C-alpha cells in the first residue's frame, strides 16, 4: 500500500505580526534598532528574505539590547528565515520567542503552530510531534495539526504511537456517526504493516473495502486470505468467483483457469458465462492462444447445454442420494439461474446427515441467496459462517462486504 502524504498548509507567521501593535506599552524599540527592523519587515513583505536577514543582523550588532528588542529581533528572524527556507534558524527563533516571556497570549498558539510546521519541513519529525502535542494540549483546534501529528509520528518511525493516535481519531469520528476518511484508514493500515499487526491490518483493509471499495484493496485482501496457512485448494473456484464479482479478474489466464475449474467441479453453465465474458472483454480469442480459447468456449457451450437436460434426470436420483450431491446439484441449478430449485436442493443437502463439507455448503447457500436477491437470508447464512473462521469463513465475511450485508 502506498505511503500516504498528508498535505501541510503553510504554518508560518506573516511579517505584520511581528511589528504589530500587540506589544505592551512599556516595551519600545530604540531608533537604531527600529530602523533596520522596519526595513526588514518591508523586505519580508516583498519576499526578499535574504535581504531581510541582512537587516536583522544590522540590528543584532547594536550593543545593550533590551529583552524586548531581542524578542522583536527573534520574531522577525523567524519569519525571514522561514521564508528563506532556513528551517534550522527559524526553529531556534520560534523557540526563543516562546521562552522569552514576551509573547502575548493571543499569539502563543500561532507561534507553537509555526514551530511545529517548521520542524516538520526540516524533517525533524520527533520535534514536530512534540510541538504539535503542546499545541493540542494548549487548546489549539486547527484540524490540520492533528494530521501533522499523525504524519510526523509515521515519518519519524514511531508507528506504535501513530497507530494509537489514528485509532483514537477514527473512533471519535465513528462515535459521532461519521465515516473515517480514507487517508486515515490508509495511514492506520500502513502503521499496522510496519509493526507487523497483520490481523489489525486485515480489519482496517475490510473497513477500507466497506467504505472505499477499490480494486487494489480487494486484490490485497484476497491475496492475503488465499495465502493464509491451511487455506484449502478446493476453495480456489470460490476465490475466482469473488475476484470476478469485485472486478479484479483482469488477465486471460485467470479467465481460462476460472472456466476450467468450473468445468472440473461440474458447473459448465458457470464456465460458459465466464468464457463468454472473457471474449466480450477481448481477453480471450486473441494471440497465440486464440484457438485454445475457442476450443474451451465450444466445450463449455456443449457441456452447459447437456448439463441442464441432465440435471432434471439426475434430480430424482440426487434427492435420494448423499448430501454432497444434493448441494452440488443445487448450486448447478443456481448457475442456470433457477434459484428456487437450487436453493431448495442445497438446503436439503445441508439438513441431511453425512455432509462432508458443511462450511462449503453454507458458503454456496449464501452465494445462492445473494444471486437470488434475498439479502436478509444471505446475510444470516454468511454471518453465521464467518464466525467459524477457516477459509470458507474468511470468504463468507468478504462476500458480506461485497454484497453490503453488514
Which stretches in the chain have pLDDT values below 70? 1-26, 314-321
Residue 127: per-residue pLDDT:
95
Query: What pLDDT digit, counting tens, does each position of 260-319 carry?
Result: 999 999 999 999 999 999 999 999 999 999 999 999 999 999 999 999 888 877 655 555
pTM: 0.80
Contacts of 292 (CB under 8 A, 6+ apart): 256
Cα–Cα distance for residue pair 56/72, rounded to 1 Å: 10
Q: Which residue has the cell 495511514?
A: 187
Rounded Cα–Cα distance for residues 133 and 123 (Å): 17
Architecture in CATH for domain 15-120: Alpha Horseshoe (1.25)
Phi/psi of residue 167, nearest 5 degrees: -60, -40
Distance of CA 393 to the CA centre of its chain: 23
Q: What does the pLDDT read at residue 181?
A: 95
Cβ(109)–Cβ(135) below 8 Å = yes
Give 131-170 pLDDT, tens digit per residue.
999 999 999 989 899 999 999 999 999 999 999 999 999 9
Closest C-alpha among 72, 76, 7 to residue 43:
76
At what angle are helices 105-121 and 125-137 packed, to 10 degrees?
A: 160
Distance CA 274, CA 241 (A): 10
Task: Write out the three cell numbers for 95.
Answer: 523557540
Q: What pLDDT is attached to residue 13?
A: 40
pLDDT at 20: 44
CATH 1.25.40.10 region(s) of the chain?
235-402
- Residue 187: the pLDDT is 96
Fold for 235-402, please state it: 1.25.40
Structural contact between residues 95 and 103, judged by C-beta atoms closer than 8 angstroms: no
Q: What's residue 26's pLDDT?
A: 55
Q: Which helix (H) or strand (E) holds 258?
A: helix 252-264
pLDDT at 320: 57
Amino acid at each position: 500500500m502506498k505511503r500516504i502524504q498528508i498535505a501541510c498548509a503553510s504554518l508560518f507567521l506573516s511579517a505584520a505580526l511581528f511589528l504589530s501593535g500587540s506589544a505592551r506599552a512599556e516595551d519600545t524599540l530604540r531608533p537604531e534598532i527600529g530602523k533596520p527592523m522596519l526595513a526588514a519587515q518591508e523586505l519580508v513583505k516583498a519576499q526578499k528574505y535574504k535581504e531581510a536577514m541582512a537587516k536583522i543582523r544590522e540590528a543584532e550588532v547594536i550593543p545593550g539590547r533590551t529583552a524586548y528588542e531581542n524578542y522583536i529581533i527573534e520574531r522577525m528572524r523567524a519569519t525571514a528565515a522561514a521564508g528563506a527556507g532556513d528551517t534550522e534558524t527559524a526553529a531556534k527563533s520560534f523557540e526563543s520567542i516562546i521562552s522569552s516571556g514576551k509573547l502575548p497570549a493571543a499569539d502563543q498558539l500561532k507561534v507553537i503552530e509555526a514551530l511545529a510546521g517548521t520542524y516538520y519541513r526540516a524533517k525533524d519529525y520527533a520535534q514536530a510531534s512534540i510541538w504539535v502535542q503542546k499545541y493540542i494540549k494548549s487548546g489549539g483546534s486547527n484540524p490540520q495539526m492533528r494530521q501533522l501529528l499523525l504524519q510526523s509520528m509515521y515519518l519519524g518511525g514511531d508507528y506504535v504511537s501513530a497507530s494509537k493516535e489514528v485509532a483514537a481519531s477514527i473512533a471519535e469520528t465513528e462515535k459521532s456517526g461519521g465515516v473515517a476518511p480514507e487517508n486515515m484508514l490508509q495511514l492506520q493500515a500502513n502503521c499496522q504493516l510496519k509493526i507487523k499487526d497483520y490481523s489489525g491490518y486485515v480489519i482496517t483493509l475490510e473497513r477500507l473495502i466497506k467504505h472505499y471499495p477499490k480494486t487494489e484493496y480487494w486484490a490485497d485482501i484476497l491475496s492475503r486470505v488465499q495465502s493464509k496457512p491451511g487455506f484449502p485448494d478446493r476453495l480456489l473456484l470460490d476465490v475466482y468467483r469473488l475476484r470476478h464479482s469485485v472486478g479484479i479478474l483482469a488477465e486471460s489466464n485467470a479467465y481460462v483457469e476460472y472456466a476450467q475449474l468450473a468445468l472440473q467441479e461440474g458447473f459448465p453453465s458457470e464456465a460458459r458465462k465466464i468464457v463468454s465474458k472473457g471474449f466480450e472483454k477481448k481477453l480471450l480469442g486473441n494471440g497465440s492462444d486464440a484457438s485454445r480459447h475457442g476450443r474451451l468456449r465450444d466445450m463449455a457451450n456443449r457441456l452447459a447445454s447437456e448439463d441442464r437436460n441432465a440435471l432434471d434426470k439426475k434430480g430424482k436420483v440426487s434427492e435420494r442420494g448423499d448430501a454432497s450431491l444434493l448441494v452440488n446439484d443445487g448450486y448447478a441449478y443456481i448457475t442456470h439461474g433457477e434459484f428456487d430449485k437450487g436453493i431448495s436442493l442445497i438446503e436439503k443437502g445441508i439438513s441431511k446427515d453425512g455432509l462432508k463439507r458443511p462450511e462449503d455448503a453454507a458458503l454456496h447457500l449464501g452465494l445462492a441467496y445473494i444471486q437470488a436477491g434475498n439479502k436478509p437470508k444471505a446475510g444470516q447464512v454468511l454471518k453465521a459462517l464467518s464466525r467459524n473462521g477457516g477459509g470458507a469463513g474468511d470468504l463468507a465475511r468478504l462476500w458480506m462486504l461485497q454484497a453490503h450485508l453488514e
